[in-house]
Amino acid sequence: MKKSNFPILVGCLSVLLTQGYAGMNLVDDATNMVDSTTDSIIEAADSNISNLHPKFDFWDTFRGDTDGDGIIDDKNISTKITNQEINVTIASLNEDGTQYKNFTGTVCSRIGTDSEFFGIGGWKKNYFNDENKSYQTFTVSKAIKDARVKFFYYPESNATCPPAAPEIFYQSTDNFAIRPKKFKILPITTPVYAGNDFNISFEALDENDTNTTKYDESKDDSFEVTATEVKPGCITGDFNLSDFSFSDGSAADINATYSEVGTIDINISDKNIVCGSRFAGVDCDDRNVTDYWNSDTNTSIDDGNTTVVVLPHHFKIDANLTNAYPSEGNFTYLSYISFPTHNSKELEKFNMSAMLNFNITAQNKQNKTTKNYNKECYAKDTNVTISYDTIDNTLTKILYHDDNDTNASDINSTALNDAIVLEKNSTIFSTDHNGSSANIKLKINFDRSKSAAVNPFSLHINELKVTDANSSSGSTEVDTNATFYYGRVHAPRQSIIGNEGNISIYYEVYCSGSGCNKALLQDGNNSQTTDDPRWFINTNHTTIYGNAGNIVQKSTPTHVLQTHASTGAANDYVSLSYDGRRGYPYKTTMKTTNSSEWLIYNKYNSNATNNESEVEFLKTNHGWTGKHETNTTTDTNASNKTNKRLAW
């Protein structure tokens, strides 16, 4: 409570001390205190005896008789700052304390508290020569919640402070606080990651920017610490700070966490604390004086703040590697892919690629999505590094294309067995505050040569790593593989009895030598060949994986026509018709005109554009028992013909 005048009869006390406590001085110097016996006598003194003497009081120099009517109407001493000068008026008053009354003598004063009865710091002396008012300046080096001016009156002009035998001891009517000037948060010099522990150090500083002695307040009692996102449109996460108390104006290495990414302003303040609960709450009812004092603002310690950048703790990567047409099969034909610009054939070639589909999500330590990591808030440019198991064959490049990059019309490549490195800007991250993630779809194939077949192999991505411009990172191993085949469309040498018949078409996969892993073939060790033990029939080939195209006679004039085109089915065939003009037997070379490019193979020509095969038409009375539609003879009376390996 404020407003308690506390006069004590020290003159009577001095007599008791002289007679009953010989050899004990009440005050020897600025640091002596009375003992417990003296305290008891002081507490029992009759304050009414003070009316025999002039009454003194202290107040701010801008207070007193505020309206000039001769009546003292404002005796407040308002909040002061530790180690800052305190300027007060010392007034000699009449018995009821409402008007000035002249006095001649000495007043000794200092700042004190109830627990430090005779004050803090050195004594100050004021001499009154038939005067009623004087001024004094104090400086206090520690924080005090409830301070008063303690003073002695002595009717001599040359008295020392404190006087040897003071007449009356007083304290000011009003109590007041001496608070720190400002809070400070020390800069955080180590990276801060979302959801991860970090430390904050706080200080409460005095006028000299040093820690304030005896400021020992606790969080959420007289001050609070908050964190606020500084960028408009971005959300503020959860800020958790351990409970703590200052000790002589310092609170070091206090544990904190913040759930989001962003740039946050961490602020320590008592402005939003109810005035009466602030450290200087004792002065909340002091009269406001324009340009000098406002109870709401002047009782507050200046805020302290620091700006902290909070980074993603890690990136979560959800990745899946699939073959070209996963709903159709579990393989991809090697295809030297190019970006389609003209026709459907180019698009088919482009789509004959494995697909690496992955999502990148920024998360905190607790694996929760950090919603501010988006292109409008805090997403950064990102590098993606894709490493894979060593591939041992004659291929030289891995080809790739970002299917989500609408501005890219090129096919990128890197040397075989070197990592794929993507440089992506922040715009790949959406603005969805419910959980931003970036999606990347990467088409992958290799530099297939039309003249150099390679064995089947698996592409296994052993690490997919994401690192952003702030060095936040994440990685994963992709647990799915893509299987690549070197394929061809092939028709063994075949004969037709008569002038029309069917020629079988096979879609085959190369697998030869010690590097041949038949387990990767569609039928495993049970896979079958036609006329070449290095090439195995792909029984799961379907139309979507390409076809032989149209079959035409290589030479002119044309005597053989295609009457039924290939479909791309596993058991494919074409129908041919011979006009008979060149007689029988008639042998000719047929070629494809628009085969799927990844199914063209010519050992001797890397620029081949078609496949070729031989067909022979025989007379119906040549000793055959019927129309020949396969690569074997059906004449039981004639010798079997042995098919020769052709170029396709």
Parse the chain into domains and list their residue ranges: 8-179, 182-311, 314-485, 488-618
Provide the mean pLDDT of the chain.
87
471 touches 361 (CB < 8 A): no
Among 331, 321, 326, CA closest to 527: 331
pLDDT of residue 514: 95
pLDDT of residue 353: 96
188 touches 306 (CB < 8 A): yes
Q: Which CATH class is domain 182-311?
A: mainly beta
pLDDT of residue 114: 72
Sign of CA dihedral 150, 153, 158, 162: negative
Count the neighbouring beta carbons within 10 Å of the beta carbon of residue 507: 29
pLDDT of residue 407: 61
Among 438, 457, 569, CA closest to 511: 457
Beta bridge partners of 482: 459
301 touches 252 (CB < 8 A): no
Distance separating alpha carbons of residues 442 and 431, to the nearest angstrom: 22
CATH of 8-179, one of 3.20.20.100, 3.50.50.60, 2.30.29.30, 2.60.40.1930: 2.60.40.1930
Given this chain, do its domains 182-311 and 488-618 carry the same CATH topology? yes
pLDDT of residue 534: 98
Domain 488-618 has CATH 2.50.20: no
- Please state whether 30 falls in left (phi above 0), alpha (psi between -120 and 50) or beta: alpha
pTM of the model: 0.80
Among 106, 10, 5, 101, CA closest to 57: 5
pLDDT of residue 342: 60
Q: Which positions of the chain have pLDDT values less than 50?
A: 1, 3-53, 624-648
pLDDT of residue 646: 40
Distance separating alpha carbons of residues 140 and 147, to the nearest angstrom: 10
Name the H helices within 21-146: 36-44
Q: What is the pLDDT of residues 240-259, one digit of tens each?
A: 999 999 999 999 999 999 99
Give the architecture (CATH level 2) of 314-485: Sandwich (2.60)
Q: Which residues contact 260 (CB under 8 A, 6 or more apart)?
A: 194, 229, 235, 236, 237, 238, 310, 364, 370, 371, 372
pLDDT of residue 340: 74
pLDDT of residue 339: 77
586 touches 617 (CB < 8 A): yes
Q: What is the pLDDT of residues 112-142, one digit of tens each?
A: 887 765 556 688 999 999 999 999 999 999 9
pLDDT of residue 431: 74
